[in-house]
Amino acid sequence: MRKHITIESAKLCCGCGACVNACALGAITMKEDEAGFIYPFVDTAICVECGKCVDVCTFTKKGDGANGEIAVYAAASKNEEVLKSSSSGGIFTELAKEILKNGGAVFGAAWTDDFTLEHICVENEQDLTKLRGSKYVQSNTGTSFSLAKKLLDEERQVCFCGTPCQVSALKAFLKKDYKNLFTVDLVCHGVPNIKMLKDDLKNVLNDKYSKIENISFRDKSYGWGVKGSIKLDNSKVKYNAGNSPYYFYFLKGEVYRESCYNCRYPLENRQGDITLGDYWGISLDLIEKMGDVNADLGVSCVLVNTEKGEKWLDSVKDNISLAKSSRQAVQKRNHQLTAPSAPLPEHKTLLNGYIENGYSSFKAGYKKHIKDHIIRTIKNMIPAKVKRKINDLLS
Ligand SMILES: Cc1cc2nc3c(=O)[nH]c(=O)nc-3n(C[C@H](O)[C@H](O)[C@H](O)COP(=O)(O)OP(=O)(O)OC[C@H]3O[C@@H](n4cnc5c(N)ncnc54)[C@H](O)[C@@H]3O)c2cc1C
């Protein structure tokens, strides 16, 4: 049957861009809907209805990925600079460095000059800084899958890091296993979009918006937690749930794309050779087993899903502190490993308000949550070491 991709339900399209990459005629582009989420748009004047875009669509298909990991670890880079500038334990950088050392290329999400987020290809260690750190917004994969395929066919090693749906999409696009492909999927609870983020940055910064030099959602100068900052030309502005409705709603899970609430990757179907997340609530006992580590600077949970992942992690073991853990221990404080985010009752109201009245509806809703801010602020004032002691006593 001759056909092309159509979006029958928003919850069935994760915006991964596999269809864009699969179309040899360039008939598909990603376009924003009224809320700012990207969906494929087919130019029917160019489309010959070959159906490749339909075949490559992986989000609705079941049965791929790892069902049960080989091993689970707590891990952190021994390099303090890497650790400080990464979101959790800096393991992504250590794994990526190994690929670069072997003459390979690394794909990940980086800010563009005008602060949209795109997947780019990096070929030297210095440029890894562009990829480092979690950006809490959807990254546009652009034509990165096609470029990754070209490099793989040239027999170069390729590392691809992204959300589980992006890693799954890359594999569907490639159609076959490549022994030189190394993948990392992130523990992910969902993504809002660039339009919402930009509206929010304009609100937080006002006339300083044009002076943004960098955005960090996880600035460790405030400790290992969910607090960020915006670097301006010669100053820094705090960026967190206390001053940003976007950040606040992101953490509450209220403004994700519809497909995130329908994510099929949390528990099973892990897509990466390795899955990385924050090891929230790590026990004092496990920190001790890791040896020489400053846990206040962040620890990653590492799920090793394939034998390739096992060898890859082993190849960087001299550069990281590592201790064996279990899925059970990791998911105790990381619900993203058990089920997708559930939309709260306010989700629809908030989204419809945003579509009808723009960003002002975010601000109006945000004021009602002042109690949550206060509780979060008080919790954040408790030093990490004290929190860990309390957790250990309670568990
Ligand atoms: C949207 C999002 C939600 C997340 N939610 C959780 C969660 O609920 N629980 C949890 O434990 N961990 C979550 N994480 C993962 C966590 O924040 C760290 O990214 C992970 O622990 C790896 O940390 P690291 O220190 O090894 O490397 P880092 O240097 O912090 O990670 C960098 C890698 O992440 C990739 N990346 C950054 N932003 C994006 C993006 N928007 N889309 C695709 N790839 C991206 C970069 O390309 C790079 O390869 C989330 C990450 C993202 C991006």
Q: Is 192 in the pocket of ligand 1 (CB under 6 A)?
A: no
What is the atom index within ligand 1 of the atom nearest the CA of 106? Answer: 49
CB–CB of 279/327 below 8 Å? no
The mean per-residue pLDDT over the stretch 116-142 comes to: 97
CA 85-86-88 angle, 5° bins: 140
Q: Is 361 in the pocket of ligand 1 (CB under 6 A)?
A: no
Virtual torsion, Cα 275, 31, 46, 52, nearest 10 deg: 20
Q: Which two tokens stand for residue 251?
A: 């953490």
At 62 the pLDDT is 61
Q: Is 388 in the pocket of ligand 1 (CB under 6 A)?
A: no
Between the CA of 301 and the centroid of ligand 1 the distance, in Å, is 12
CA 329-333-337 angle, 5° bins: 80
At 154 the pLDDT is 98
Between the CA of 136 and the centroid of ligand 1 the distance, in Å, is 8
Q: Which two tokens stand for residue 208?
A: 């300083």
Q: Is 163 in the pocket of ligand 1 (CB under 6 A)?
A: yes
Q: Give the C-alpha separation, 373 to 367, whole Å.
A: 10
Q: Give the C-alpha separation, 55 to 192, whole Å.
A: 26
Between the CA of 186 and the centroid of ligand 1 the distance, in Å, is 5
Between the CA of 47 and the centroid of ligand 1 the distance, in Å, is 35
Between the CA of 184 and the centroid of ligand 1 the distance, in Å, is 10
At 369 the pLDDT is 75
User: What does each C-alpha distance from 202 to 199, 256, 359, 366, 368 come to in angstroms?
Assistant: 5, 20, 10, 16, 21
C-beta atoms surrounding 292 within 10 Å:
7
Q: Which of 168, 387, 140 is nearest to 273 (CA)?
A: 168
Is the pTM higher than 0.75? The answer reads yes
Between the CA of 368 and the centroid of ligand 1 the distance, in Å, is 29
Q: Pocket of ligand 1, candidates 80, 83, 87, 166: which has the most ligand atoms within 8 Å of its Cβ, to mutate?
A: 87
Rounded to the nearest 10 degrees, the angle between the axes of helix 307-315 and helix 91-101 is 90
Mean of pLDDT over the chain:
93
Summarize pLDDT for 185-223 with one digit per residue, the tens: 999 999 999 999 999 999 999 999 999 999 999 999 999
Q: Give the C-alpha separation, 345 to 286, whole Å.
A: 38
What is the atom index within ligand 1 of the atom nearest the CA of 89? Answer: 25
Q: Report the nearest-CA residue for atom 5 of ligand 1.
A: 188
The mean per-residue pLDDT over the stretch 108-133 comes to: 97
Give percent above pLDDT 70 in the chain: 97
CA 242-230-96 angle, 5° bins: 110
Residue 375 has pLDDT above 90, yes or no: no
User: What does each C-alpha distance from 30 to 16, 17, 21, 101, 139 come to in angstroms?
Assistant: 10, 7, 11, 34, 12
Q: Give the C-alpha separation, 333 to 312, whole Å.
A: 26
Amino acid type, 368: K
Q: Does domain 10-56 have CATH number 3.30.70.20?
A: yes
User: What does each C-alpha distance from 216 to 95, 130, 136, 366 come to in angstroms?
Assistant: 21, 11, 9, 22
- The band of 59, judged by pLDDT with boundaries at 50, 70 and 90, is confident
CA 17-345-15 angle, 5° bins: 0
Q: Which two tokens stand for residue 359?
A: 């960003």
Q: Which two tokens stand for residue 243?
A: 């001053």
Q: Which two tokens stand for residue 261?
A: 């609430």
Summarize pLDDT for 235-265 with one digit per residue, the tens: 999 999 999 999 999 999 999 999 999 998 8
At 267 the pLDDT is 80
Amino acid type, 16: C
Q: Which two tokens stand for residue 152?
A: 């793989």
The residues spanned by each domain of the chain are: 10-56, 66-395
- The band of 63, judged by pLDDT with boundaries at 50, 70 and 90, is low
